[in-house]
Every structure is written in C-alpha cells, then in structure tokens.
Structure 1
Amino acid sequence: MSARHDVAIVGGGAVGLHLACLLAQRGVDVVVLERRTEPSHLSRAIGIHAPGLAALDAAGVGDAVRAAAIRIRSGVALSRGRLLARLPFEHEPILALQQHRTEALLRERLAALAPGALRQGVELVGLASGADDVELAARGTSPVRARWAVGADGVRSTTRALLGIPTGARPGSGGYAMADAPDATGAAATALLHLEPAGIVESFPMPGGQRRWVARLAAPEPGMTTEGLQRILDERLLAPPRLPPLAPTSAFVARQRLADRFALGRVALVGDAAHEVSPIGGQGMSLGWLDALALDRALAAALDGSGEAGAPFAAYERARRPAAERAMRRAWWNMAMGSPASAPRLALRLALVRTLAVPPGRTAVTAAFTMRGL
C-alpha cells in the first residue's frame, strides 16, 4: 500500500502551486499531480491585484513577483482618441506579469519547501473518497492516497467531473481576440480602454516592453489570425499598434460558470475548478489565490481536527462562493460595457463612464478594478 499524504492537489497551475506552497511551509505533507510534462510558456493571465499580491506574500513569493512585474498605476478610458476618464491606482497598483513567470516562481518556492512534491506527467483518471482518506488513480504513477484532496485542475476539471458536481451558467459571455506586441503607446504604466462602436479594445503594459491587446468581437472567431486582429485594430483605433507578423494571436469565448458545490466529502475544489470567471477584468488568477488562502485555513482545521464536525469545508464554501459571485457580477459589467453598441447606446455608455470617473462613482469603480471585497 502506498504511503498516505496529508493533502493531494490535482493541478499544478498558478492556484494549485500556490496552495501547495501555503501547505508545505506549515509542514503539511503535500503532493501535486500535474498532467503536463512541461510547463506552459504562454503568457495567459497577467494581472495581479493587491489582494492577490497579499496572497503571494503569504506563500513566500510576493517579493520575487514584485521584482519581476511592472506596475499599472492608472487606467484611461478613451473613445475615438478623446479622453473620457482616468482612474489612478497609485495606492494599489495592479502588477502585470506573465502567468508562466509567476508559476515558475511558485514552482521554485515549492521545490525549496518540499522537494519532489510536484509530479509532472500524471493524469487523474479515478477518485474514491472513503471515510478516512482519498485514493486517486492516475496515469503516470501508482495510486496516490491522501487524507484530503483538492481539485485545482481548471475549468475542465477532471476532479469535479469525477465527483459528479455540475456547473451552472452565470450571466456574461462574449468573443475576444488578443495578441502581445511591443509597446509603442508611450503609456508604459497605464491600461488603455478604447470604447468604440464595434466593441472595446483594451491594452495592458507587460514586462519587457510588451503590451497585450484585447479586442471584443461581434461573434466568436476561433480561426483568428494576426492579420485578422490587425484589421480590427486598424478599423477601431486612430493610432493602432503594429502587431509583429508572428505575434501569437488567439481567440476565445469568455463565459462564466459556477460549480453547484465547492466540496464533497474529503475533496474540495479551488480556483477555476470551482468557478469559471470571465478573464475580462483580470480577476480570475487573484480570485483563485484568495480561494487558496481560505482553503489552506480549512485544511489546517481539518488536519488538526478543529474544523466543523462532518463538514470540514463548510466555512470555506460559505466564504468563497459569495466572493466568486461578486467577481462574476463585476466581470459581467465589464463585458457589457465593452460590447458592440449602436450610436445612441454608445453615447449613453460614454456619459456613464464620465460620471463614474468622478466622486462618488470613482470610489466604487476603483474598488472593482482593484478587487476590493473579494
């Protein structure tokens, strides 16, 4: 019979690694099962909000992230080149760092805390939760036993599927295309939001003199090319960027779904496995780290027997489900404000932006952008 770990985490992405670091630094015997044999080198999520940075501090990687990231100190809304509003983030700057670089720092931290805890090339295929432990069957390794298990395996979570937990759709969906390119805007510390009739174009500075460009589409376009995105930017912007011909370009459908439960028996769900939040607004990764903080506390109580009898993850779910729902409402609002609009509707939207850019509206908008209350 294989040795029994304290906690087994399925998924070695940003959230699974973060939770593993939190557990390992408290001396918990943790193992992370990751399907991929090599780390992803795609930039993916880039925004790290102040609450997310505090969560990274708790895992011991906050300073390393600060050193590698750049700070977004303001957000500017424009339309046809005219300034509509400016929101300062000086007191709570949003950090920008490519997700693969953040994950690399978390992997380094976990390797220092618990050498060998991360097992790559291991794919979960079965899960049996008993009275005292959980047994996980996986390709690439012998069965893994643990007192508790966590699914941190993303929006297509195998853990969630094996538990039989359904998800329900929440408002907010839309097609988008994005690419990263050299930043020639002269606004190295500013997020630019271009509210145009055909849909918003957002851009965010990144380390290395790069900038991410994201365009709302009238309908999903899975075959989007760099040339296609360049045409969209040329049509909507007075001073469009020049995308490199080989710039990695992707199209995706942002949607929102919430798991009916965040835990079942000895298994909990965290991050995208529990809630698929639209990436528009950049809340998803930081939200997952806040989940991990709460789940770390719940696991500590479960491991020492001080948790709620019969429902060790009840407090975790009570705290994190409302937070996910608030994040989804904010993301829905962001998506609605950036959707294609007729001239009268766009005029009303621009007037609302101007109104929200001054007190008292500015306080609420800034809180939403900086993820306060989640």
Structure 2
Amino acid sequence: MHTERTDVLVVGGGPVGLFLAALLAERGIDVRVWERRTDPPVGSRAIGIHPPSLDAFAAIGLDTAVLAESTLVRAGVARSRGRTLGTLTFDRASTTHPYVATLDQHRTETLLRERLKASVPGALRPGTALTGLTRDPDHVEASGTGPDGAPVALRAAFVVGADGARSVVRDLLGIGTTGRDYPDRYVMGDFADPEHASARSEALVDVGPDGVVESFPLPGARRRYVALVPDDAGFAAAEGTATSEPDPTVAHRLAALVAARTGVSPDPASCTMLSGFRVRRRQADRVGSGRVVLVGDAAHEISPIGGQGMNLGWLDAAELAPLLAGAVRTGVAGPWPGYAARRQGAARRAARQAEVNMAMGRPLGPVTATGREALLRTALALPTAHGLARLYAMRWA
C-alpha cells in the first residue's frame, strides 16, 4: 500500500478543519484533510459568525465572500411578556465588524471548501475515515479507509484533530474529557421571518416566565427560533436531527410555542429546518500529545446557546496555524508556550457565559420572573452596557 506524505493532516473537514487547512495552505504548507462524510455540506445548524472570526477570515480573503451572503445583526433586543426590556447594540463591540453575521453553516462550509480547493486542489479527501495513529519522534503515521473501503495511509509531520465532540483522534490518543450534562433541552427551527421589517437586523431574546425563546435573522428573509422546551412537550422527533425536510407536526408545535410565549406567529408551512438538542460541556484533559493537536469541539465542547462554539474553533485555528507552519519549517515540534492555556481558557470563559445565558432563560414563577426582568432592564440601561455587547461579540476571545 502506498503511503502518501504531507506536512499536516487535518482530520475533520467541517468548518474548523477547513479553515485551519486554508490558513496553512495560505502559508505554503502542504496539507490534507480527511473527512468521513461523502456528501457535500447541507443543513443550517450553526449560523453566528462573530467579529473576531471575521477578522481571522481576512487572512485567507474569506471575509468579503462571507459578508456578501450574510445577514448582519447589529443589535439584540430583550423582551418579556410583551414588553421590551432593553436593547444591546454592537456599534462599539468592534472597530472592524460592529455586528454579528449570520449565514447557514452549509454555505460557510462551501465557501471554505472552495477557498481550500483554490489553494490546494485535492487537499480535501471526502469519504476518508481515520482508524489509527502511530507517533514517531519526527512524524505521525495515519491509517484509515477511503471512499471505496480500501485502506489508506499517510505520513505527516503533524496531525490535527478537528473531528468534533466525538473525536476519533482524541480517543486514539487516549485523552479523556471532563465536564457535565445539563437538563436543558432546546428545539430550533428556521421559518419565513414574521417579525416586523424594522427587526430584520435584530436578534430577539424573550425571557418570559415559561422559558426563553431566542430568534435571529437569516439571509433570504428567514428567521431562526430557538426555544427551551420541557421534556414532555412532544419534540422528541426533532432531537439529534438537523433536517431540511422537517416533520410538519413538530414545525406546528414549535410555531405554536413561539406564538404563545412571544406573540409572534411563524408560519409552520415555511419551516425549512428543525433540530433538537440537549446541552453538555466537555473539555479535553490535554489539547494534544507530541505532534498531534486537538482544536474546536475535539478540545472543548460548550453549550450552543450563545453561538460561540464554532467561533472558538476558528480562533483555535487562527492561533495554531502560524505555530504549525513554523514547526513544519524548523522541524521542531511543540509544545508552544501558552497556546493550550489560552485556548482552553477561552473555552472555559465561553462555557461560563453560556451557562449564564441558560440560567437567564429558564422558567420562573411570576414574582421571580419580575425580578429577572428588572435586572435585565437595569443592566441594559447602564452606560457600561457596551461591555456586554463586546462580551457577546466575543471580543475577549
């Protein structure tokens, strides 16, 4: 069996792995990406692209292409029981991108694939699954199966595990994780936008007593609704899926829940995506071993509430790429002082913020809900509210 050689093998061709590969290619590093999926990207899934990520995209000229297709969210509005509690604007959150961009994940992935293909044709290997790693002092031997089931082998100076929360790379390294599961359960769906035209550039968060409903504008006059749901509310069919052919019964159920909590009625017939998820937090005990490194969800999984997980992975990649490129050129492997501490520290901070977001959106009795509303109204009215905007825009990351 022929053994291919490359500088860096990235395992996982999702948004984080593709971005890292494109960054390395931009620096002249020979790179391959093994992606077990054979089909092109589909589905909406993660949508938020924060200012630091847009800044990082500029390194490969991707920021312009992403922004050309995105909707720009310039403010977030907090509501409860039909009343507006306050507005948080992003105009001071970033000097380069005073907004959060929203774009369906499949489009972001497609743009990343195209950018990588333009730099290194054939770098992405769909249908290739990693099955083994053998580490030597000056290289790593990777083995796997190709699209036809035949064995494949590759020798790389470095391997990066960008293969998600259930990382095969992490398992092969024997790296454990610590964390916890949360009781919260959410359902999200994309609908034709029923909000008033003036709200098309606003994210909306309703923190009423029955549980939170968040919504975000999307390209094509669509809006995503994310709702905290009780376990017995009949949403089990949506859990673990992100289908473009949503169950009509679940779409009606979600639309009715949104209407009951917010007074806004999405059209169930316009639903183009449904997904249900529970929440957990995990952090790898180490971000790698020798010439193998973990990034993104393989290194740190956080709650999707707040939309920061994918962006954390992109920022991992932005910091790791120059370190890897330097190591390839010098032949000297890490560790790189401070890298692991900085990236895992950023993940812990994002996870704590997500926990606060979840706590603020849980059901409360009428009296306690009134207290929460007063707290939010005061926080959003303070002169320091722009600091909250920077926090939500990940300007600390």
TM-score range, shorter chain: over 0.9
SS in 2 for 1:177: strand
Structure 1 residues 304 and 245: alpha-carbon distance in aligned structure 2, compared to 1, 3 A threshold: closer
Is 2:373 the counterpart of 1:355?
no
Q: Which amino acid aligns with 2:117?
A: A
1:307-322 to 2 correspondences below 5 Å:
311-322=334-345
Q: Work out which of the residue numbers 134, 137, 145 in structure 2 matches 1:139.
A: 145
Structure 1 residues 137 and 313: alpha-carbon distance in aligned structure 2, compared to 1, 3 A threshold: farther
Q: Tell me, in whole angstroms, the C-alpha distance in 1 between the residues paired with 2:213 and 2:139.
A: 49
Question: TM-score when scaled to structure 2?
Answer: 0.90
Q: Tell me, in whole angstroms, the C-alpha distance in 1 between the residues paired with 2:32 and 2:231.
A: 42
Q: Work out which of the residue numbers 172, 176, 186 in structure 2 matches 1:166.
A: 176
- C-alpha deviations, 1:53-106, integer Å up to 9, x for none? 011111221110011111101110111211101011234111011111011111
Q: Which amino acid aligns with 2:114?
A: E
SS in 1 for 2:370: helix
Q: Tell me, in whole angstroms, the C-alpha distance in 2 between the residues paired with 1:288 and 1:71.
A: 21
Question: TM-score when scaled to structure 1?
Answer: 0.95
* Percent of paired sites with the same residue: 47
Residue number in structure 2 paired with 1:75: 76
1:189-268 to 2 correspondences below 5 Å:
189-219=201-231, 221-224=235-238, 225-244=250-269, 247-268=272-293
Residue number in structure 1 paired with 2:298: 273
Q: Work out which of the residue numbers 180, 186, 204 in structure 1 matches 2:190.
A: 180
Residue number in structure 1 paired with 2:3: 2
Q: CA RMSD in A?
A: 1.7
Q: Work out which of the residue numbers 155, 167, 178 in structure 1 matches 2:165.
A: 155
- C-alpha deviations, 1:338-365, integer Å up to 9, x for none? 1111222211211111111023441331
Q: Which amino acid aligns with 1:192?
A: L
Aligned residues, how many? 372
Tell me, yes or no, if the aligned pair for 1:172 and 1:278 is still in contact at 8 Å: no
Q: Tell me, in whole angstroms, the C-alpha distance in 1 between the residues paired with 2:275 and 2:63.
A: 29
Q: Which amino acid aligns with 2:286?
A: R
Q: Tell me, in whole angstroms, the C-alpha distance in 2 between the residues paired with 1:247 and 1:23.
A: 35
Bigger shift: 41-50 or 166-175?
Answer: 166-175
Q: Which amino acid aligns with 1:96?
A: T
Q: Tell me, in whole angstroms, the C-alpha distance in 1 between the residues paired with 2:331 and 2:358.
A: 42
Tell me, yes or no, if the aligned pair for 1:222 and 1:252 is still in contact at 8 Å: no
Q: CA deviation at 1:313?
A: 4.1
SS in 2 for 1:208: coil
Q: Tell me, in whole angstroms, the C-alpha distance in 2 between the residues paired with 1:248 and 1:262.
A: 34
Residue number in structure 2 paired with 1:117: 123
Q: CA deviation at 1:256?
A: 1.3
Bigger shift: 336-345 or 147-156?
Answer: 336-345
Tell me, yes or no, if the aligned pair for 2:90 and 2:386 is still in contact at 8 Å: no
Q: Tell me, in whole angstroms, the C-alpha distance in 2 between the residues paired with 1:253 and 1:122.
A: 29
Bigger shift: 186-195 or 86-95?
Answer: 86-95
Q: Work out which of the residue numbers 135, 142, 150 in structure 2 matches 1:129.
A: 135
Q: Tell me, in whole angstroms, the C-alpha distance in 2 between the residues paired with 1:133 and 1:314.
A: 21
Q: Tell me, in whole angstroms, the C-alpha distance in 2 between the residues paired with 1:163 and 1:10.
A: 13
- C-alpha deviations, 1:98-152, integer Å up to 9, x for none? 1110111110100000000000000111111111111111111511110000000
Tell me, yes or no, if the aligned pair for 2:90 and 2:390 is still in contact at 8 Å: no
Structure 1 residues 173 and 108: alpha-carbon distance in aligned structure 2, compared to 1, 3 A threshold: farther
Residue number in structure 1 paired with 2:63: 62
- C-alpha deviations, 1:187-238, integer Å up to 9, x for none? 1101011111111001100001110011012338432421321232232122
Q: Tell me, in whole angstroms, the C-alpha distance in 2 between the residues paired with 1:368 and 1:243.
A: 34
Tell me, yes or no, if the aligned pair for 1:355 and 1:361 is still in contact at 8 Å: no
| Structure 2 unaligned residues grouped into runs of 5+ | 93-97, 239-249
Residue number in structure 2 paired with 1:368: 391
SS in 1 for 2:357: helix
Residue number in structure 1 paired with 2:358: 335
SS in 2 for 1:155: coil
Structure 1 residues 171 and 331: alpha-carbon distance in aligned structure 2, compared to 1, 3 A threshold: farther
SS in 2 for 1:321: helix
SS in 2 for 1:41: coil
SS in 1 for 2:268: coil
Q: CA deviation at 1:170?
A: 4.9
Q: Tell me, in whole angstroms, the C-alpha distance in 2 between the residues paired with 1:265 and 1:371.
A: 30
SS in 2 for 1:239: coil
| Structure 1 unaligned residues grouped into runs of 5+ | none
Q: Tell me, in whole angstroms, the C-alpha distance in 2 between the residues paired with 1:120 and 1:160.
A: 20
